[in-house]
Amino acid sequence: MLYPKRTKFRKYQKGRFKGCKADGTQLCFGKYGMKSCEAGRISYQAIEAARRAISREFRRNGQIWVRVFADIPITSKPTEVRMGKGKGNSTGWIARVVEGQILFEMDGVSLANAQQAATLAAHKLCLSTKFVQWF
C-alpha cells in the first residue's frame, strides 16, 4: 500500500486547499496521464484501486507512474464515544490534491487503451479527472 513508513508527527490537521499548484501539472514521464479537475482528498485505498484498474486494463503491458502519495494520516473516534478526551486514533492515509495536478502517467500502450484505463481509474477516485496527452 502507498503510505509512509514513518512521519514527523502522528496526527495532522485537515488543512484547506488554496489556489493551484505550480509543480506537478505537466506530464514528466509518460505520453498519457490523468489530471484532477478539482481540489480534494484521495485515500490510499482509492489510489491503489485506481492503479490496479489501470494495470488490469493494460494486462501488465506498458508503464504506470503514480504521481500522488498518501502521506497525511486521518483520525477518527470510535462509534458511540462522547465528545472530548482528545483526538481520535489514526485510521488511514490521504493525499491532498489540488486542481490541475497530475495523478497518474501512462506509457507503452495505445491511445485507445490508455483512454479506457483512465476511464476505469476515474470511477475509483472521488474527484473529477480528465485525460491528458503529451504533444
pLDDT digits (tens, 9 = 90+) for 23-56: 888 999 999 999 999 999 999 999 999 999 999 9
72 is a domain residue? yes
Q: Give the pLDDT score at 107.
A: 95
Alpha-carbon distance of 2 to 56, in angstroms, equals: 18
pTM for this one? 0.90
Single out the residue of 29, 12, 19 nearest to residue 91, CA to CA.
12
20 is a domain residue? no
Based on the structure, what is the number of domains in the chain?
1
Residue with cell string 465528545: 83
Q: Give the pLDDT score at 75.
A: 94
pLDDT(1) > 70: no
pLDDT(95) > 90: yes
CATH number where 84 lies: 3.90.1170.10
11 is a domain residue? no
pLDDT(126) > 80: yes
